[in-house]
Copies of this chain bind each other. A is one copy, B any other.
Amino acid sequence: MTQAVFKGIVAYPITPFRPEDGAVDTVALTALIDRLVQSGVHAMAPLGSTGENAYLSDIEWQTVAETSVRHIAKRVPVIVGISELTTQNAVRRAHFAQQIGADAVMVLPTSYWKLTEEEIFQHYAKIAAAIDLPIMVYNNPATSGVDMSPELMVRMNHDIDNVSMIKESSGDIQRMHRITQLSDGQIPFFNGSNPLALEAFAAGATGWCTAAPCLIPELTLQLYRAANAGDMQQARECFYKQLPLLQFILKGGLPKTIKAGLQLSGFDAGIPRSPVLPLDDAQREQLAQLLKALQT
């Protein structure tokens, strides 16, 4: 059962780049993976939005995928992110993910020319036909330019074999209600909007897909544990405590804020790929204050 495999805190590692030449830094990547696994997160999702998936070459993407899956080595389940403009490339990457032993793939359709529902459906259907892995449908209109309705996502979960999970990152809690209603609560949905973490759990989310564990793993886990125990009061307190940081990383963009936060903790993961710039000094100082407030 897919449902049993992925749940709780699904951690999104950044992709470290070497300061000297900007190449993928597999040494830092494996170190970050160990750190996350040891923190107790329930699953790992390399090559998400946080992982600068979209900015990597084919070779780099393969390197990160393979390094991650091998180094995680079944300690936690792994879901590999795919966000390609053409179906052909998405199929190719999905196939690669299966070959290297990923437990699932998370597929974000991206667009230049707007896609119709039929086009999106066939995109998923072709990827699903090429692999045996479970597929997580990933809706993130702000980054991808594609906005999938709950109706479409639930239909794909019903009609396409392997499609068995939904990740909602639009930040609209009503979409989660709708997914629950349309599927009678049978399709596991994951929240991808950090400042919605509390309410998504209240609404029944199976898990929280987040880059925050790179910086504050224990707080994200505490929130999940309180929510899983049904304790609204404790979940609320834990949520409001970490909310300023969650707001900061959302607003600033995950790769640049998480990389800055890692560096502040003594872990150098390089900077994001141009044209994305690193945090400026004022932002870095603000982040340092936010992190400091959470350590006391």
Whether the pair B177, A55 counts as a contact (CB closer than 8 A) is no
The reply on A231 being an interface residue by CB < 8 A is: yes
Identical chains in the assembly: 4
Chain B's nearest CB lies how many Å from the CB of A84?
Answer: 10
Whether the pair A275, B227 counts as a contact (CB closer than 8 A) is no
Chain A residues 119 to 162 lying within 8 A of chain B, measured CB to CB, are: 119-120, 122-123, 126, 142-145
Chain B's nearest CB lies how many Å from the CB of A294?
Answer: 15
The reply on A268 being an interface residue by CB < 8 A is: no
**Bound-state Cα–Cα, A88 to B274, Å:** 7
The reply on A73 being an interface residue by CB < 8 A is: no
Residues of B within 8 A of A145 (CB): 143, 145
Residues of B within 8 A of A209 (CB): none
Residues of B within 8 A of A234 (CB): 230
Which of chain B's residues has its CB closest to A113's CB?
B253
Which of chain B's residues has its CB closest to A185's CB?
B240
Whether the pair A240, B174 counts as a contact (CB closer than 8 A) is no
Which of chain B's residues has its CB closest to A118's CB?
B277
Chain B's nearest CB lies how many Å from the CB of A256?
Answer: 8
Whether the pair B196, A275 counts as a contact (CB closer than 8 A) is no
**Bound-state Cα–Cα, A254 to B244, Å:** 36
Whether the pair A86, B55 counts as a contact (CB closer than 8 A) is yes
**Bound-state Cα–Cα, A164 to B245, Å:** 28
Contact of A199 among B126, B142, B173 (CB under 8 A): B173
**Bound-state Cα–Cα, A110 to B274, Å:** 12
The reply on A170 being an interface residue by CB < 8 A is: no
Residues of B within 8 A of A203 (CB): 198-199, 236
Contact indicator per residue, chain A 100-118, by CB within 8 Å of chain B (1) or not (0): 0000000001111111101
Whether the pair B113, A276 counts as a contact (CB closer than 8 A) is yes
Chain A residues 182 to 220 lying within 8 A of chain B, measured CB to CB, are: 185, 195-196, 198-199, 201-204
Contact indicator per residue, chain A 80-108, by CB within 8 Å of chain B (1) or not (0): 00010111100000000000000000000
Residues of B within 8 A of A115 (CB): 275-276
**Bound-state Cα–Cα, A231 to B114, Å:** 36
Contact indicator per residue, chain A 232-267, by CB within 8 Å of chain B (1) or not (0): 111110001001100000000111100000000000
Tell me whether A232 and B243 are in contact in the complex, defined as CB-CB below 8 angstroms, given that A203-B199, A274-B122 are known contacts.
no
Contact of A112 among B55, B87, B181, B231 (CB under 8 A): B55
The reply on A169 being an interface residue by CB < 8 A is: no
Which of chain B's residues has its CB closest to A199's CB?
B199
The reply on A74 being an interface residue by CB < 8 A is: no
A–B Cβ pairs within 8 angstroms, 11 of them: A55-B85, A55-B112, A87-B273, A112-B144, A113-B255, A115-B275, A143-B145, A173-B199, A181-B243, A185-B240, A230-B231
What 9 pairs between A and B have smallest CB-CB spacing? A199-B199, A123-B275, A202-B202, A54-B112, A87-B274, A230-B233, A230-B232, A232-B232, A113-B253
